[in-house]
Amino acid sequence: MTDTYAGGCQCGAVRYRLSGSIPPAYACHCGECKKQSASAFSMSIPLAYDALTVTGTPKVLETVAHSGKPKYNYFCGDCGTRLWHSGSNPPTAITLKVGTLDHSGDIAPVGHLWVSKKQAGIMLDPKTDQYQTQPDDVLAWRNNLGQR
């Protein structure tokens, strides 16, 4: 896919534009992702933060990732919509939340993390990468998504 994509938070206070190809998406079924999305899983797209043109100023919440390293969660300070995560503040490499795109209906995950925590009744495409937890090198895995 190549095009210009737009997205943002629910209230419109933070908006972004992304030009070029959208990398393959993945779904995470861990407890933290279920909580932040208020759903059965969260879908993300790994990309460089400088690929976005952002208007508005997101707030950031620092948490601890499964690796024990800091994780920075960027969200709208007005409506609370989670927009992206990063291992750094300011952000460099991010995982953009697919649900924040204005049009995301054609984006399907090519991989699934933490399927051991998957919500009952959710069926996964057996052709996708699936990990009971996550790969030892999750960053390398994200960078190679869709290259099976």
Strand partners, 129: 111
Locate 86 and state its tokens.
Answer: 């990063």
Confidence grade of residue 11 (pLDDT, cut at 50, 70, 90):
very high
The whole-number pLDDT of residue 58 equals 96
Domain presence at residue 13? yes
Compute, in degrees rounded to 10, the torsion defined by CA atoms 9, 15, 17, 18: -40
Domain presence at residue 148? no
* Total number of domains constituting the chain: 1
CATH number reported for the structural domain that contains residue 54 in this entry: 3.90.1590.10
What's the mean pLDDT in 101-105?
92
Q: What is the pTM of this model?
A: 0.86
d(CA 73, CA 139): 17
> What's the domain range around 73?
2-143
pLDDT at residue 88 is higher than 80: yes
Domain presence at residue 131? yes
Domain presence at residue 28? yes
What's the mean pLDDT in 18-41?
85
Which string of DSSP letters, residue by residue, matches 78-109?
Answer: TT--EEEEESSSS-SEEEEEGGGBS--TT--E
- CB-based contact 16:55 (threshold 8 Å): yes
pLDDT at residue 72 is higher than 50: yes
Domain presence at residue 125? yes
Alpha-carbon Rg for the chain in angstroms: 15
pLDDT tens digits, one per residue of 131-145: 998 888 877 888 777
Confidence grade of residue 37 (pLDDT, cut at 50, 70, 90):
confident
Strand partners, 17: 6, 53
Average pLDDT, the chain: 89
d(CA 47, CA 108): 16
pLDDT tens digits, one per residue of 38-49: 888 899 999 999
